[in-house]
Chains A and B, each alone.
Chain A
Amino acid sequence: MSYLTRWSRKRSIWVFPVNAASCNGCDIEILASLTPRYDAERLGVEVVASPRHADVLLVTGTANSMTRGILKKIYEQMPEPRLVVAVGACALGAGVMRGCYNVGHGVDKVIPVNLFIPGCPPRPEAILFGILKLVGEHPRGQVVAKEQIGKVSTTEHEEGEK
């Protein structure tokens, strides 16, 4: 792979979020990671409206018997190279829905998952951390330390919360 391709894939991440029967908590956190405080766009993240445009599928919620087929279909509509990120405890392994009659497994039983972001719901920092990790940038080591990424870094924010 040429340098240009590698660089452009790292710097431009188009995300298609899918709600596969989540409680909406995770979706709100994904939304929060796009808002002024966290602003995922500075990393090159863009939310696109069609799976055909997307590089990353952000799945929230446990895939139940209703959304399983839809999820598979959406995954198949994405062009290669495609990555799947499972956000939240539900997507990792049913979470609070474990034991329900229509669920009982995480998203990885339906489609291949590249990255898991745990939490119920995961914080926006965790989602940004995951996205950076996905494209091979380690936020604490390199990228966030630079001033250019913006005012809110992961550590700074956690200190402010206390």
Chain B
Amino acid sequence: MDALEVVEILVFPGLTFFVWLAFVFEWLDRKTTARMQGRIGPMLAGPRGILQPVADFFKLTSKEEIVPQFSDKLVFEWGPPFFFAAPAIGTIFIPVVGLNAIVSSPYDLLFILFVLAFSTLMAGMLGYASAGRFSTISIGRLVLQYASFEIPLLLAIVSPAVAAGNLSISGIVQAQSNFHWFVFVVPIGFAVFIVSSLAELEKPPFDIPDAKTEIAAGWMTEFSARPLAYVKLTESLSYVFLSALAASLFLGGTAGPVLTNVTILQDGIYLAYFLIKVFAIGFAIFAIKTALARVRINQAANLFWTVLTPLSLLQLGIVILLR
């Protein structure tokens, strides 16, 4: 590993870039929600409130850290950085400039599945470690929700891999150049992926684990100050991560329909395509989450087990037959 690679992983297009993107995403999320509700959203922090998530983050880091008496101190205090690490590591497998990611191996997708499972596991551990009543209820719901959305999500991720005949994300993106986007090949898989990622992100209509009106702030109830700042940042980062994953797997990622072979500024064009797609998927998720109300846990389980799992299986079958 040389110096350039370290810079790539830590600054651009690695960690710093994605953290910046996460802040922008959270701002866009709040703005979109506000606009859809007829409000104007954050206005004072920075131009048009763009620094609002940054202000929230730094304010949280400067507050007093409370560790509940009966909590598991080790996990409670050291868990949030690990929680943050899951999507942060996942992002380095996603191509941002060019058709190759910083790190790519033939088994990327297996690792991505591990990252998705690990972040849910970390959330569960953090919730249990804080030993609050609301957190415990929330973790029960989280595990049940995870058990219902994991299989459709997994099958939805696998179908573009089957279509490309490749398990590496860079390989899947390369297979989609020349406007051969997999959203046209596996449309059901794309829809299932979006719905399941709403559940993974704990956003409405699947915000069952942190239902504000029922169980306070869910598994985050006992967190304050710096751990809370990390947890909130991780949530936005997962947002970006899942949007980027959807863009790479289904919408061709950095590969665009036109201007694929100019000699100058090729990297800039790749980056522009990537950002346009990520923000498009982000906006779709913001709109869905603002427009819908929460479903009950049994309705969510029903939806995933009886509708989305058969659909994603059907999709997988179709893709295997078409190959």
Contacts and interface: CB of A to CB of B under 8 A. Distances in A.
B220 A50 contact: yes
Contacts, number: 102
B323 interface: no
A31 to B, nearest CB: 13
A12 B41 contact: no
Contact of B44 (A14, A48, A148): A148
A79 B65 contact: yes
Given A49-B212, A143-B44, A41 B55 contact: no
B44 A8 contact: no
Contacts of A143: 44
Contacts of A55: 59, 63
A43 interface: yes
B interface, over-half SS: loop
Chain B interface size, under 10 / 10 to 19 / 20 to 34 / 35 or more: 35 or more
A133 interface: no
Contacts of A7: 55, 58
Contact of B221 (A8, A42, A44, A52): A52
Given A8-B62, A12-B52, A44 B42 contact: yes
A11 B62 contact: no
B314 interface: no
Interface in B72-128: none
Interface in B27-82: 30, 34, 37-45, 48-49, 51-52, 54-59, 62-66
A12 B66 CA distance: 20
Contacts of B210: 49
A9 B134 CA distance: 28
Contact of A81 (B37, B55, B63, B223): B63
Contacts of B225: 79
Chain A interface size, under 10 / 10 to 19 / 20 to 34 / 35 or more: 20 to 34
B222 interface: yes
Contact of B40 (A12, A14, A39, A80): A39
A79 B61 CA distance: 12
A36 B37 contact: yes
Contact of A50 (B38, B49, B59, B217): B217
A36 to B, nearest CB: 4
A12 B45 contact: yes
A100 interface: no
Contacts of A12: 45, 52, 55-56, 59
Given A5-B58, A7-B55, A79-B225, A53 B40 contact: no
B224 A42 contact: no
Contact of B34 (A14, A39, A53, A77): A39
A149 B139 CA distance: 40
Contact of B62 (A9, A48, A49, A77): A9
A12 to B, nearest CB: 4
B195 to A, nearest CB: 25
Interface in B200-229: 210, 212, 216-217, 220-225, 228
A161 B223 CA distance: 43
Contact of A150 (B40, B45, B54, B134): B40
Nearest to B38: A36
Given A41-B34, A48-B217, A53-B224, A9 B41 contact: no
A123 B18 CA distance: 42
A49 B49 contact: no
Contacts of B38: 36
A74 to B, nearest CB: 11
Contacts of A4: 58
Contacts of B62: 5, 8-9
A70 to B, nearest CB: 14
Pairs of residues from A and B, 10 with the lowest C-beta to C-beta distance, nearest first: A42-B43, A8-B58, A11-B45, A80-B64, A36-B38, A11-B55, A79-B64, A50-B217, A8-B59, A49-B217
Given A39-B39, A42-B40, 18 more contacts: A8-B59, A12-B56, A14-B56, A35-B39, A41-B34, A44-B49, A48-B217, A49-B212, A50-B134, A50-B221, A52-B222, A53-B228, A55-B59, A55-B63, A79-B63, A79-B65, A79-B66, A80-B64
